Amino acid sequence: MKNYTKYKPGYYPVAEEYTDWVKKDHIDKAPIWCSVDLRDGNQALIVPMSLEQKVDFFNYLVKLGFKEIEVGFPAASETEYAFLRTLIDKDMIPDDVIVQVLTQSREHIIKRTFDSLDGAKRAIVHLYNSTSFAQRQQVFRATEQEIIDIAKEGATIMNELAAQSPGTDFYFEYSPESFTGTEMEFARDVCNEVIDIWKPTPEKKVIMNLPATVEMSLPHVYANQINYMSKNMHDRENVILSLHPHNDRGTGVACAELGILAGGDRVEGTLFGNGERTGNVDIVTLAVNMFTHGVDPGLDFHDMPDVVEHYEKYTDMTVGPRHPYAGELVFAAFSGSHQDAIAKGMHFREETDPSRWTCPYLPIDPHDLNREYESDVIRINSQSGKGGVAYLLERDHGFIVPKAMRPEIGFMMTDLSDKGHRELSSDEIFEAFKQEYINYFEPVDITHATFHHISSTKEEGARQFEVDMRVVIGDDTYDHLYATGNGRLDAVSNALRKTKYNFEYDFITYSEHALSAESDSKAAAYICIADKKDRRYWGVGIHDDIILASVNALVSALNRMNKTNQFISWQKVRG
């Protein structure tokens, strides 16, 4: 990258210090939204939308809650003219929605634009001409006054044509195109000349739109430009200050947010930022950002998968898997530490205040965008950890894995994913867990166990149990093994030690729970034992009876220990 010396900033920062807006730390109300998907968004498509697609998309934008929609440049093509006429002639524009049309500041184009609006109840006519130094110098080769005259002439013609069409309630908008590359004093002057011609009132405000036609600066520089214009416009109280950020530097959303703090009242943009070059500002991200700060955005994105589906259908564009809020993977946590924190956060919310959302790593509740925890949040690959695996086993299958057992299971699952070079589904995780730990009956299998509580005159709290077991160990069968112990598992252990095999182990920990809240739920038990070298072995047992579930857990742990110690030589494969 040796050619950086040929680049110099092409924008004009504000000379005065306008920083009062910096003290604001959040946006406290939504701006006026104007969708330009049907104009800016459409002109950026490889294959522009058909008339039918544009009609469908318009209706969908209305459904999402947009009250101002720029429907096109009707003087530019017959399709755009026909689209506007379709909306008007078929009375498809709701009374609370106003359509906006774009026109260059050229007399014949302005007249054609007003002709296209014949019969409309309300409309915004959006006038523009380029004002930047680069455009004046290289494209128009015009002086500042000549550029001002172009804007003034267009504004005057619009006044005249509106007066000739009393059946339509017209609102006017002006854009100094390439505002960000315009000297601020000149941008101020040209905007004020247009304002003075239109003479806004409280009942009929004008829109002054300040586009980052090309995003050229850091976001705070754009915001300072907006703030400067807000403080230096004529009739500011009767002006709606509009922002139209593009995304050439990848900071369109930041420019819009800071621009709102700096005085912006309105934002023009597209769903997911579709537009020329790197796109317009992404209204979906902007709106949901506000939502996550407790502000009603005034747009309805509660069914984000539906929004994505419609957008992709109309534009033939795709929403990336990591696109904020909308991408397929934005709620997916593969990292072990992330998964652990999310799982704990979910439990904390259930235990404390379910009405507040403070879950680590998730800035928004996926349910608020019609996304599901079950398929979106915790996902397992070779980068995942114990917390995520334990969360899925509990959420999807009811197993509350003991904390001490989780690292072992986590390593097992990440190893499976690593060797297969793929993500593991929740069902695959459970199947591997089941095969390795649950009711593992080979070669030791206690097929029958009857317990009796033995009355005792010993000290208070002492309990004695007797067990009668049928045990299969490899090729050996013991029909009646009797033993006593100070608990059921102790009795089972003592009975096993009466066989010819060398069962040497110590109990480390035991836990149990019901697999669901239903009265007929199965029970799950977890046992950890240690061999002579203090190596730990876990077993899990399930059964309708919690006592037999614990016996199954012990047997499972013993059989897993046998895989390492081989104290039972057993070759026969049992069904």
Phi-psi region of 325 (alpha: psi -120 to 50; beta: other; left: phi over 0): left
pLDDT for position 575: 32
Whose CA is closest to 192, among 227, 148, 142, 237? Answer: 148
Q: Which of 217-231, 425-439, 481-495, 560-574 shows the lowest mean pLDDT across its residues?
A: 560-574
Whose CA is closest to 288, among 338, 362, 204? Answer: 362
The CA distance from 122 to 279, in Å, is: 28
- Domains (ranges, CATH) in the chain? 24-315 (3.20.20.70), 336-437 (no CATH), 444-565 (3.30.160.270)
Position 100 pLDDT exceeds 80: yes
Reported as a pLDDT band with limits 50, 70 and 90, residue 574 is: very low
Cα torsion at 98, 99, 101, 107 (round to 10°)? -60
Q: What is the pLDDT of residues 138-193, one digit of tens each?
A: 999 999 999 999 999 999 999 999 999 999 999 999 999 999 999 999 999 999 99
The CA distance from 556 to 539, in Å, is: 5
Q: What is the mean pLDDT of residues 428-445?
A: 93
The CA distance from 28 to 575, in Å, is: 67
pLDDT for position 458: 56
Report whether 137 contacts 71 (CB < 8 A): no
Which H or E run includes 175?
strand 169-177
Burial bucket for residue 163 (CB in 10 Å: 0-12, 13-18, 19+): exposed
Whose CA is closest to 111, among 141, 80, 74? Answer: 74
CA-based Rg of the chain, rounded to a whole angstrom? 35
> How far does CA 428 lie from the centroid of its chain?
26
Which residues sit opposite 129 in a β-bridge? 176
The CA distance from 373 to 538, in Å, is: 29
Return the residue matching tokens 């203090």. 534
Q: List the strands of the sheet with 506-514, edge to edge.
A: 506-514, 523-530, 536-543
Whose CA is closest to 38, among 18, 61, 63? Answer: 61
Report whether 408 contacts 390 (CB < 8 A): no
Furthest CA-CA distance within the chain: 111
Reported as a pLDDT band with limits 50, 70 and 90, residue 570 is: very low
Whose CA is closest to 287, among 265, 261, 257? Answer: 257
Give me the count of residues in the chain. 575
> Chain-wide mean pLDDT for the chain?
90
Q: Which of 8-17, 151-160, 553-562 shows the lowest mean pLDDT across its residues?
A: 8-17
Q: What is the pLDDT of residues 314-359, one digit of tens each?
A: 999 999 999 999 998 888 766 667 777 887 888 898 889 888 899 9
The CA distance from 173 to 189, in Å, is: 16
Which H or E run includes 564?
helix 546-565
Q: What is the pLDDT of residues 282-304, one digit of tens each?
A: 999 999 999 999 999 999 999 99
Which H or E run includes 485?
strand 476-485
DSSP label at residue 282: B
DSSP label at residue 85: H
Q: Which of 81-90, 257-266, 270-279, 459-468 shows the lowest mean pLDDT across its residues?
A: 459-468
Position 375 pLDDT exceeds 60: no
- For 373, the token pair is 């925890």
Q: What is the pLDDT of residues 384-398, one digit of tens each?
A: 556 678 888 888 899
Residue 528, CB half-sphere, CA atoms under 13 Å: how many? Answer: 14
The CA distance from 534 to 505, in Å, is: 9
pLDDT for position 456: 60
- For 543, the token pair is 């059964």
Give SS3 for 524: strand
Kindly report the number of other CB atoms within 10 A of residue 91's CB atom: 9
Q: What is the pLDDT of residues 227-256, one digit of tens each?
A: 999 999 999 999 999 999 999 999 999 999
CB contact burial 389-406 (16+ within 10 A = b; e otherwise): bbbbbbbeebbebbeebb
Q: What is the mean pLDDT of residues 86-95?
A: 97
Q: Which of 110-114, 369-373, 476-480, 518-522 shows the lowest mean pLDDT across its residues?
A: 518-522
pLDDT for position 313: 95
pLDDT for position 385: 58
What is the amino acid identity at position 489?
L
Q: Which of 9-18, 160-169, 179-188, 532-541 shows the lowest mean pLDDT across its residues?
A: 9-18
Report whether 58 contacts 28 (CB < 8 A): no
Q: What is the pLDDT of residues 449-473, one digit of tens each?
A: 988 887 665 555 456 888 889 989 8
Whose CA is closest to 131, among 79, 69, 193, 71? Answer: 193
What is the amino acid identity at position 570?
W
